[in-house]
């Protein structure tokens, strides 16, 4: 059996998503014109879809476009070909994390990996652990401000000291482990 092309791998990630596949894109640019984050992206959403369809995996994976997606869904709602472009951005994020291929210096990959690991360990998000995944990329002044705010929230009972856990955590872990490749996480 032949190894699927990059565009086929992305299509497989989108298989369960509502909307049409990427190959129905007419390259009209409506997604790019609707995107509030496009000025921060190194490729417009339209161009990124074209790169995926052209199997230009290295250029897509080295892009910051899907990490800068604001998840506002304007592109998806306005797409005349009914492509779920926002879900495409999520799929590229997942693919990037699973394959450990992404631009250096981006907060998104580290934050996303930390989020999945925190959810996997307790079944819930826990902000103090999440913050440490990106907090040290800021300067000392920002770190001190965040630490002071977190301390205040903990003292007022707004931020728990220990992470909450869900019931039947082992069942949850088995379910998540079948859906998300966790790289040996147990």
pLDDT tens digits, one per residue of 40-87: 999 999 999 999 999 999 999 999 999 999 999 999 999 999 999 999
Q: Is residue 43 part of a domain?
A: yes
**94 and 10, same structural domain?**
yes
CA distance 15 to 11: 6
What global pTM score does this model have?
A: 0.73
Q: Do 67 and 129 fall into the same domain?
A: no
- Asked whether residue 10 falls in the same domain as residue 91, the answer is yes
In total, how many domains does the chain have? 2
Domain membership flag for residue 118: yes
Are residue 14 and residue 90 in the same domain, yes or no?
yes
Residue 178 lies in a domain: no
Q: Is the pLDDT of residue 183 over 80?
A: no
- Asked if the model's pLDDT at residue 12 lies above 90, the reply is no
Close Cβ partners of 174 (under 8 Å, ≥ 6 residues apart): none
Looking at the structure, do residues 93 and 111 belong to the same domain, yes or no?
Answer: no
What range does the domain containing 124 cover?
107-162
pLDDT at 41 (0 to 100): 96
Question: For residue 126, what pLDDT is reported?
Answer: 81
Out of 10-19, 22-31, 87-96, 149-158, which region has the weakest mean confidence (pLDDT)? 10-19
Are 17 and 91 in a shared domain? yes
Q: What three-state secondary structure class fits 163? A: coil
- Domain co-membership, 40 together with 69: yes
Whether 181 is in a domain gets the answer no
**179 is a domain residue:** no
Give buried/exposed letters for 24-41 (b at 16+ CB in 10 A, else e): ebeeeebbbebbeebeeb
C-alpha dihedral sign at 107, 137, 117, 96 = positive
Residues 29 and 94 in one domain: yes
d(CA 123, CA 172): 7
My answer on whether 10 and 93 are in the same domain is yes
Would you say residue 76 lies in a domain? yes
List, in sequence order, every residue forming a beta bridge with 20; answer none if it has no partner.
83
Question: Does 120 fall in a domain?
Answer: yes
Same domain, 57 and 28: yes
Q: Do 85 and 137 sit in the same domain of this protein?
A: no
Q: Where are the alpha helices (DSSP H) in the chain?
A: 6-13, 30-34, 45-53, 57-61, 74-78, 85-99, 107-122, 127-135, 140-155, 169-179
CATH number for the domain that contains residue 42: 1.10.1060.10
- 83 DSSP β-pair partners: 20
- In a domain? residue 186: no
Is 128 found in the same domain as 45?
Answer: no
């Amino acid at each position: 059996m032949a190894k699927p092309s990059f565009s086929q791998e992305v299509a497989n990630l989108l298989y369960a998503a509502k909307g049409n596949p990427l190959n129905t894109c007419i390259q009209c640019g409506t997604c790019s014109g609707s995107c509030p984050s496009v000025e921060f992206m190194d490729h417009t959403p339209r161009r990124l879809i074209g790169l995926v369809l052209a199997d230009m995996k290295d250029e897509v994976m080295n892009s910051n476009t899907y990490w800068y997606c604001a998840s506002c869904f304007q592109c998806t709602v306005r797409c005349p070909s009914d492509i779920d472009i926002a879900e495409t951005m999520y799929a590229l994020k997942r693919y990037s994390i699973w394959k450990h291929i992404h631009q250096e210096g981006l907060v998104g990959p580290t934050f996303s990996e930390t989020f999945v690991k925190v959810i996997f360990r307790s079944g819930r998000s826990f902000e103090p652990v999440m913050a440490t995944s990106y907090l040290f990329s800021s300067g000392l002044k920002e770190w001190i401000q965040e630490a002071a705010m977190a301390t205040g929230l903990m003292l007022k009972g707004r931020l728990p000291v220990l992470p909450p856990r869900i019931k039947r955590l082992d069942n949850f872990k088995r379910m998540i482990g079948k859906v998300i490749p966790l790289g040996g996480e147990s």
